[in-house]
Amino acid sequence: MRTLTEYLPGLTLTTLTLDAPLDHADPTGESIEIFARIATGDGGTDKPYLVFLQGGPGHEAPRPGLVPATPPWLPRVLADYQVVMLDQRGTGRSTPVGVRVSATESGLTAQPTGALAGRSVAAQADYLTHLRADEIVNDAELVREALGAKTWTLLGQSFGGFTSVHYLSTHPESLAGALITGGLTAVQRPIDDVYALTWQIMIAKSEDYYRRFPGDRERVRELTALCAAGAITLPNGDVVSPDRFRTVGHRLGMQGGAEALHYLLGLNHESSAFAHDLASTMPFEGRNPLYAVLHESSYADGVATRWSADRTMPDRVREDVTLLGGEHLHRSVFSEDTELRAFAEVADLIAEHEWNQLYFPDALAHAEVPVAAAVYYADAYVPHQFSMETAALLPDCRTWVTSEYEHNGLRMDVAVIDHLLGLLHAKRWL
């Protein structure tokens, strides 16, 4: 284990790097590095630990600071805890997986970098099968033990909540409590059920959007036709297809996203501003390739995904180009995006992989851990109906169902974390 202490205004940061098996079932095999930062506020070294499990999959932990507050909920949590920011395996400083684009005589080419460099396609796919919630939890256990903590509390946002549900399934004895925001994942539900329902949610959100901005419906139709003609390109020259353009609806699942989408659509589509803003609006891109490659696997509880989002797209959506998608991954993005093209063959193998089971209802029913969960009623990515089914499995799950916030509520208002901490610590609740 390697540690280093750094100081920011009002904040002490201790970095921790340790070695972990790529496959915890084979501790003598290949090893990787796991990196975490521990943020401690003034006078906080005696406080218990809380580990933040971020959304994704494939995104590193936030880089903490107090001026301004990053992430926004951090000062409130530091009042009660020391906060562990874990870079989930494959991200940030935890033996990362990435991609590098280079110019050749035939044009731009991309190659996987980091842990995947030099491996065959089959070996890359095998490596990536070890980057799911189960192994992230095993890494977290190593970090907890390295910190000398008998127990700690979880804060899981979105995919981090999925990871928290696995943690509750497998290591409840390590948990003093769990806070989950937009991440009470479906348990024992086929992946196609999840995507079929999220498509219906996005149909409703699309219609709500056009009631707010009625002129944008024709604009989306116009831009989709331009995409079909190959006339919409990104700053790197990638041509945007109609299916890929549809993913701008991802913004409708976020607080402030409808306004951001409206402003994007108001730009001249031939302008550089439109090209850059469009690139930043679509969810699947090369900065965090794992988000695209492993995204569907996060919903796979003991099944193969086989491009579920594509397969479950309703005919109504296929026929009406103005109905937008959310986190609905289209296989075609791996042939369109210059950086993601490096993972096209790997993504096909991952889509056919038979994933292990992540969530165990009987174990959850015996997990005597207090859980406080924000369930967003109109969540575009984690249907609240399935979240409530999962909540019912847990013996002490205190749910706050709200339509006041979208999926990113934790980042948008400190009232979210404050409310959940109140639920978690209350001796009685209504």
pLDDT of 66:
85
Over residues 330-348, mean pLDDT: 95
- Per-residue confidence band for 428, with pLDDT thresholds at 50, 70 and 90: very low
Over residues 309-316, mean pLDDT: 97
Q: Are 257 and 251 in contact (CB under 8 A)?
A: yes
pLDDT of 429:
44
351-408 tens-digit pLDDT:
999 999 999 999 999 999 999 999 999 999 999 999 999 999 999 999 999 999 999 9
Q: Indicate if the pLDDT at residue 430 is higher than 60.
A: no
Residue 391, helix vs strand vs coil: helix
Over residues 267-287, mean pLDDT: 95
* Consecutive H or E run containing 158: none
Q: Please state the φ and ψ torsions of residue 137, each to the nearest 5 degrees.
A: -65, -40
Over residues 324-345, mean pLDDT: 94
Over residues 97-115, mean pLDDT: 82
Q: For the full predicted model, state whether its pTM sits above 0.85.
A: yes
pLDDT of 68:
83
Domain boundaries, the chain: 2-89+131-188+359-425, 191-352
Say how far apart CA 69 and CA 157 lie, in whole Å: 18
Lowest mean pLDDT among 28-42, 105-119, 134-148, 159-173: 105-119
Q: Are 21 and 30 in contact (CB under 8 A)?
A: yes
pLDDT of 217:
98
Say how far apart CA 290 and CA 159 lie, in whole Å: 13
Over residues 331-345, mean pLDDT: 94
Say how far apart CA 276 and CA 182 lie, in whole Å: 29
Residue 412, helix vs strand vs coil: helix
44-78 tens-digit pLDDT:
889 999 999 999 999 999 999 888 889 999 999 99
| pLDDT averaged over every residue in the chain | 95
Over residues 314-332, mean pLDDT: 96
Say how far apart CA 54 and CA 319 lie, in whole Å: 35
Residue 10 neighbours by CB distance under 10 Å: 12
Does the domain at 2-89+131-188+359-425 match CATH 3.40.50.1820? Answer given as yes
Over residues 301-330, mean pLDDT: 96
- Per-residue confidence band for 103, with pLDDT thresholds at 50, 70 and 90: confident
Lowest mean pLDDT among 106-115, 283-292, 300-309: 106-115
pLDDT of 426:
85
Lowest mean pLDDT among 246-255, 281-290, 353-362, 399-408: 281-290
Q: Please state the φ and ψ torsions of residue 280, each to the nearest 5 degrees.
A: -80, -15
Q: Indicate if the pLDDT at residue 294 is higher than 50.
A: yes
Say how far apart CA 192 and CA 117 lie, in whole Å: 33
